[in-house]
Amino acid sequence: MKAVVTGGSGFVGGAVCRRLQSLGHDVTAVGRRPNPVLEAAGIRAVVQDLVATDAAARLAAAFAGADCVFHTAAHVKMWGPREAFVRGNVGATEGVIAACRLAGVGRLVFTSSPSVVAADHDLRGIDESQPYPGTHRALYPETKAAAERAVLAAHGPGLKTLALRPHLIFGPGDTNLVPTILKRARAGRLVEVGGGSNLVDLTFIDDCVSAHVLAATALDERPSSGGRAYFISQGTPVPLWGWIGRVLALHGLPPVRRKVSLRTALALATAAEAVWRTFGLRFDPPLTRFLAEEMATDHWFDISAARRELGYEPSCTVWEATERSFAHGGTAGRPARA
């Protein structure tokens, strides 16, 4: 298979590139800047801004001859101007779809997020029939939902598509979830929100990558898999704050001692958002309503569809993956296994 991965410099995209290469596929990584690490590993790297005005035409050249495109690139931020989220998530995805059609690519696997169905209440064991909410609490889930809808609507005879929704991806090479937790903890800014017993799904990077490879195969071999979204996780939810406590311990850090109720956190977040919005601040506020709710509510999902249609099966539990990833205090920097 000849594959193209957008966002190859990212945590997920880079891991997908390395796995595909290890399986003997011809891999091209597309990103906004040169990637000497991937190139040193023998992976072709193409520099292309996905939100440029002529991105679709330029991407089509990079996609030429590809059997499958994995669109992992995204604008992942907690705060910022709406136009940046719309360009980075919706516009970039529409450009990738257009480029696939121009280049005659037959398959497109989109890395989405369970946050596209996030609401201001617990989500317990829901499946993909859960509708998008009427309104989203933040621009990231709002624009990811729009991008996901565009990908699924593009599914047809000429271009087979599907979307994966991995939840809270972690593991060796992580540049987002665990590093953010550690940074806040070391700065004394990590506060437990809610009662501390909320259950969440997490996804080990190796299994997240496996889901992407399986998705590409399913689009080719199982017609019923296309045009659909799939939740991906380790399959068994764990207490979020218990997991965070274990991650901190494995990095030699003390447990979280400061606590605040969800009601108080939402009040503080609402005030912070108002200040940031009034003064047009671009950097992240200390707390947002979306983040407060994510830290205090249940978020776990039924992965039966992924098991049935993609052949996906988690390789280990969340706890096993956590020990494997951080038993020696390791976090960002080490890539996921090939």
Q: What is the pLDDT of residues 235-244, one digit of tens each?
A: 999 999 999 9
Banded pLDDT at 230 (limits 50, 70, 90): very high
Q: Model confidence over 286-335: pLDDT tens digits?
A: 999 999 999 999 999 999 999 999 999 999 999 999 999 998 765 544 45
Which residue in 195, 200, 196 sits closest to 236, CA to CA? Answer: 200
The answer to whether residues 300 and 234 touch, using CB atoms and an 8 Å cutoff, is: no
Report the distance separating Cα 97 and Cα 154, nearest Å: 7
**Which residues are known catalytic residues?**
140
The confidence band for 53, taking pLDDT boundaries of 50, 70 and 90, is: confident
Q: pLDDT value at position 332?
A: 44
Query: What's the pLDDT band for 338 if we cut at 50, 70, 90?
Result: very low
Contacts of 263 (CB under 8 A, 6+ apart): none
Per-residue confidence at 337, pLDDT binned at 50, 70, 90?
very low
Can you name the residues that pair with 142 across neighbouring β-strands? none
Note whether 91 and 143 are within 8 A (CB): no
Instruction: State how far the Cα of 182 lies from the Cα of 313, in Å rounded to an integer.
Output: 29
What domains, with CATH codes, occur in the chain? 2-326 (3.40.50.720)
pLDDT in tens, 102-111: 999 999 999 9
Q: H/E element holding 204?
A: strand 203-204
Residue 110 near residue 164 (C-beta atoms within 8 A): yes
> What CA–CA distance (Å, rounded) separates 19 from 66?
17
What's the pLDDT tens digit per position in 58-79?
A: 999 999 999 999 999 999 999 9
End-to-end Cα spacing for the chain? 17
Distance CA 337, CA 206 (A): 7
194: helix, strand or coil: coil
CA distances from 150 to 12, 84, 108, 179, 229 (A): 21, 18, 12, 31, 12
- Average pLDDT value for residue range 8-31: 96
Is the pLDDT score of 282 beyond 90? Answer: no
- The helix or strand, by DSSP H or E, that contains position 109, with its residue range, turns out to be strand 107-111
Residues 6+ positions from 176 with CB-CB distance below 8 Å? 11, 76, 169
Instruction: Note if the pTM is more than 0.85.
Output: yes
Predicted confidence at residue 330, as pLDDT, reads 56
